[in-house]
Amino acid sequence: MHPMTRRDVFQAIADPTRREIITLISRQPLNLNAVAGNFDMSRQAISLHIKILRECGLILIQQEGRDRYCSIQPKKLAEVADWVEPFRNMWEERFDRVDLILKNLKTKKMVGKNKQNKLNKPKK
Amino acid sequence: MHPMTRRDVFQAIADPTRREIITLISRQPLNLNAVAGNFDMSRQAISLHIKILRECGLILIQQEGRDRYCSIQPKKLAEVADWVEPFRNMWEERFDRVDLILKNLKTKKMVGKNKQNKLNKPKK
DNA sequence: TATTTGTGCAAGCATTTGCTTGCGCAAAAC
DNA sequence: GTTTTGCGCAAGCAAATGCTTGCACAAATA
């Protein structure tokens, strides 16, 4: 695990163990060993997951003596919610609307063949 | 890339390229080459990403002759929204509520030391 | 019919990821 | 003061990931 690579919140929640950690400490802040007690892997593995979550801003760690209490920073998950939100309108629409779009596709038949449809994206 | 490994929707959207593909084809269905034209990597790399998205149910592919049109299946993203939703209440609360929780933590001081706090989870 | 286009299969490679184990340091408990 | 506990550092390893390149097949086009 490369310590210099920062991950975004999407990469942080991609792992099921990390999602479970988030759920766990959202109920109440826990120290690291208390979190680790709920999993079947080594304490160090959980420590590494928590490090990833802390680095991308999903959890906050407060040290008290030798204990490090992890608590959720839920606002970071707004980034995920914000990304998903535009698609919500689509999955809440009726299916026949999607059919209509596909029918329009058949009559036009040009999107795949039009080589000028690139987004305005600068080359590397 | 192991073809037999199925990924869940969280793993599918962890990659920024795949999120961009999802955004692109949500505007209108595109064939694979039209999608690839928006990126600076090989067409085959895009093909592999689209395969991942199809396998976890995020996009639907409809073949017309040799063209394969990719369209979004937004309902699958409801899984992400459903997971994020319980945290929304937390990030929409006022910050002092979080402070209160932390103050309670200081007075109790037992969560980390209580070895009986494991979830009801069967051992492997 | 020949050529072009769309696109998947496969191999190869470098990087990233997830985990274990051993060790060591600091703080709490005895 | 000694022992126990919490927990990060580091190395090592296997698996997963993302990408490129070459090739081949099917459908569309000329």
Residue scoring higher pLDDT (A13 or A90):
A13
pLDDT tens per residue across span A91-122: 887 555 566 666 666 555 545 543 433 333 33
Give the nearest chain B residue to A110 (CA atoms).
B30
Distance B30 CA to C9 C1' (A): 22
User: Residues of B numbered 49-108 whose beta carbons fall under 8 angstroms of chain A's beta carbons: which are they?
Assistant: 62, 64, 67, 69, 71-72, 74-75, 77-78, 80-81, 83-84, 86-88, 90-91, 98, 101-102, 105-106
pLDDT tens per residue across span B21-64: 999 999 999 999 999 999 999 999 999 999 999 999 999 999 99
| Structural tokens at position B123 | 């051992």
**For residue B122, is it left (φ>0), alpha (ψ between -120 and 50) or beta?**
beta
In chain B, the domains with their CATH numbers are 9-73 (1.10.10.10), 77-108 (no CATH)
Q: Which of B51, B28, B124, B84 is nearest to A76 (CA)?
A: B84
Nearest by CB: A38 against B38, B75, B121: B121
Distance CA B108, CA B23 (A): 47
Say whether the CB atom of A71 is under 7 angstroms from strand D: no
| Mutate: best of A68, A77, A79, partner B, most B CBs <10 A | A77
Residue B71 dihedral angles phi and psi, to the nearest 5°: -130, 155
Three-state SS at B93: coil
pLDDT tens per residue across span B3-25: 445 799 999 999 999 999 999 99
